[in-house]
Homo-oligomer: A and B are copies of this chain.
Amino acid sequence: MTFNGAEAFVATLCACGVDTCFANPGTSEMQLVAAIDRQPGMRAVLGLFEGVVTGAADGYARMTGRPAVTLLHLGPGLANGLANLHNARRAGSPVINMVGDHATYHLHFNAPLTSDAVGVARPMSDWVRVARSPRDLAQAGAEAFVAAMEWPGQVATVIVPADHAWSGPAAPVDPRPAPPVPRAPAAAIAEVAEALRGDAGPVALLLGGRALRADALEVAGRIAAATGAKLICETFAARVERGAGRVAIDKLPYFGEVASEFLAPYRTIVVCGTEPPVAFFAYPDKPGALSPPGAQVLRLAGLREDAHDALTALADALEAPAQPVDLQPRHVPDAGARLTPEAIGAVLADLMPAGSIVSEEGISAGAALFDATKGAAPHDWLMVTGGAIGQGLPVATGAAVACPDRQVIALQADGSGMYTCQALWTMARERLKVVTVVLSNGSYAILNIELGRVGVQNAGPKALSMLSLDNPRLDWCALAAGMGVPAERADSVAAFRAAFARALTAPGPMLIEAMV
């Protein structure tokens, strides 16, 4: 069998175990489309906007630990996907991008779509490679897989000149093994162990990245049992395995001064799977680093080191008990009378089936939703890791593709939902089991808070109009219907509860517009 470059490239990716392509192709990618067509091992999922494609690849990676491949149309198509690649990088998600480009001999014509594809790729990729020949394409694919699998995951981008895709001869290359998982330095573990055995004062264990999976959390719970350490979840985590029966963990608050207050009691802060806590934004006359002045901050393991292993080594060094601290009991808060984020969280805590996956982009509602659901049936909670909004619906889409047997729930603020609302169409097309709850408050509510926090007083109507989504009010039920997703509106707790219960029984996606 003879291969052209595109066929050898796609076959190589398949051999590496890449079985899903999130795609938004154009003319320069038609040979890649044809190559995917001929590969029974690769599923193709169309997105109607590139931010859907890259965000779905992120969601897929968070749930599988493996990269999906994206298919994007030259520099401008890649550009549309950058914001969610930024989030994917911050999540440590493995993603492979295949980006078509003009034929090598066509670039000098400077045709309208000519752009600096490498320049577009670089700011949001950990690794970029331009294929050098038809034969080199397969090699680039194998290397991209290794780069993407650099623990816990990286964004790897391959630029595919059209003539290399359609020309031969080429042949698939053998997959290379994923790189080993780097271990945290033994000295770091020893230092933390020594500190915790001594006079460490009140201790906080700030967990992020892979330290938030159930197995690592269980070990962290044993360390807490040994040391009395408070377990804290980083503010924007890629994936937290939580809920009833799992080790309970509170989240570091978003606003810097609230986070500082939250951390103030602790004299020792041990960081695992993430970096020492900093404010999301700077504000005039407010500190950027959030650890209490004078506290010792110790780094057990970073995002790119094996957090579970480091926690286990620490637990061993501390001779921690086999049982973790008290596990989170099943708990359903009172939903109250008004439909608020807290009430939505309470209904979720009551009704969410075990094994649910929550993609949460609640923005101003995020903290309340997280808190209210801590005693829900065991579930995964995915957050906006990089602060680039428009992540929630695409990540829900990718998670549902990755885990067809699990219920996905997208908790989506209305303002941020609009950036990648096209994801609803992919949910409908693929009949994904996603219940989208839009928290409709008609406002960039977070910005109305932030305006005062950066020192703006007496904002006038023009400023406020730039933060308001009223006039006209978005109708998310109509938007969903426009993309083939059945929807209903809820403006009371009872209505929301009934709608959510119905949505869980639907064979495909549903959207509930919750008027909060």
Q: Does A46 contact B (CB under 8 A)?
A: yes
A483 to B428, CA, bound (A): 20
**A421 contacts across to B, CB distance below 8 A:** 421-422
A151 shortest CB reach to chain B, Å = 19
Q: Is the CB of B483 within 8 A of A474?
A: yes
Q: Is the CB of A482 within 8 A of B471?
A: no
Q: Is the CB of A76 within 8 A of B80?
A: no
Return the chain B residue nearest A419 by Cβ. Answer: B49
**A386 contacts across to B, CB distance below 8 A:** 76, 112-113
The residue from B86, B451, B453 contacting A75, defined by CB atoms under 8 A apart: B86
Return the chain B residue nearest A414 by Cβ. Answer: B48
Q: Is the CB of A473 within 8 A of B465?
A: no
Q: Does A429 contact B (CB under 8 A)?
A: yes
Q: Is the CB of A25 within 8 A of B76?
A: no
Given A86-B75, A106-B282, also A49-B418 (CB < 8 A): yes
Q: Which 8 pairs from chain A and chain B are nearest by CB?
A: A472-B484, A478-B482, A76-B388, A103-B282, A479-B482, A37-B463, A106-B282, A79-B82
The residue from B27, B33, B82, B106 contacting A463, defined by CB atoms under 8 A apart: B33
Q: Is the CB of A236 within 8 A of B112?
A: yes
**A279 contacts across to B, CB distance below 8 A:** 106, 109, 111
**A36 contacts across to B, CB distance below 8 A:** 462-463, 466
Return the chain B residue nearest A37 by Cβ. Answer: B463
A235 shortest CB reach to chain B, Å = 8
Return the chain B residue nearest A162 by Cβ. Answer: B282
Q: Is the CB of A30 within 8 A of B450?
A: yes
**26 A-B pairs, CB-CB below 8 angstroms?**
A28-B281, A30-B447, A30-B450, A30-B451, A31-B454, A37-B463, A46-B465, A46-B466, A48-B418, A75-B86, A79-B79, A79-B83, A79-B123, A90-B112, A105-B282, A105-B288, A109-B278, A110-B275, A113-B281, A113-B388, A115-B124, A119-B123, A162-B281, A429-B471, A474-B483, A475-B482
* Interface 0/1 of A208-233, CB less than 8 Å to B: 00000000000000000000000000
Q: Does A198 contact B (CB under 8 A)?
A: no
Please report which residues of chain A, range 486-501, place their CB below 8 angstroms from some CB of chain B when the two chains form the complex. none
Q: Is the CB of A112 within 8 A of B280?
A: yes
**A474 contacts across to B, CB distance below 8 A:** 425, 482-484
A82 to B124, CA, bound (A): 14
Q: Is the CB of B462 within 8 A of A37?
A: yes
**A109 contacts across to B, CB distance below 8 A:** 278-279, 288-289
A33 to B28, CA, bound (A): 40
**A308 contacts across to B, CB distance below 8 A:** none
Please report which residues of chain A, range 410-455, place their CB below 8 angstroms from some CB of chain B when the two chains form the complex. 415, 418-419, 421-422, 425, 428-429, 446-447, 450-451, 453-455
Q: Is the CB of B418 within 8 A of A460?
A: no
Q: Is the CB of A451 within 8 A of B33?
A: yes
**A455 contacts across to B, CB distance below 8 A:** 31, 166
Q: Is the CB of B75 within 8 A of A123?
A: yes
**A106 contacts across to B, CB distance below 8 A:** 278-279, 281-282, 288
Q: Is the CB of B447 within 8 A of A25?
A: yes
The residue from B83, B102, B163, B289 contacting A80, defined by CB atoms under 8 A apart: B83
A331 shortest CB reach to chain B, Å = 29
Q: Does A456 contact B (CB under 8 A)?
A: yes
A51 to B456, CA, bound (A): 27
A422 to B82, CA, bound (A): 18
Q: Does A176 contact B (CB under 8 A)?
A: no
Q: Does A34 contact B (CB under 8 A)?
A: yes
**A37 contacts across to B, CB distance below 8 A:** 459-460, 462-463
Q: Does A370 contact B (CB under 8 A)?
A: no
Q: Is the CB of A34 within 8 A of B459?
A: yes
Q: Is the CB of B44 within 8 A of A466?
A: yes
Q: Is the CB of B451 within 8 A of A80?
A: no
**A30 contacts across to B, CB distance below 8 A:** 447, 450-451, 454, 456
Q: Does A169 contact B (CB under 8 A)?
A: no
Return the chain B residue nearest A448 by Cβ. Answer: B30
Return the chain B residue nearest A167 by Cβ. Answer: B284
A457 shortest CB reach to chain B, Å = 9
**A124 contacts across to B, CB distance below 8 A:** 79, 115, 120
Q: Does A122 contact B (CB under 8 A)?
A: yes
Q: Does A257 contact B (CB under 8 A)?
A: no
Q: Does A385 contact B (CB under 8 A)?
A: yes
Q: Does A204 contact B (CB under 8 A)?
A: no
Given A27-B453, A80-B80, A421-B422, list of 17 further CB < 8 A pairs?
A25-B447, A27-B446, A30-B450, A34-B463, A36-B462, A48-B418, A49-B390, A75-B86, A76-B86, A76-B387, A86-B115, A111-B281, A111-B288, A112-B236, A113-B387, A113-B388, A480-B482
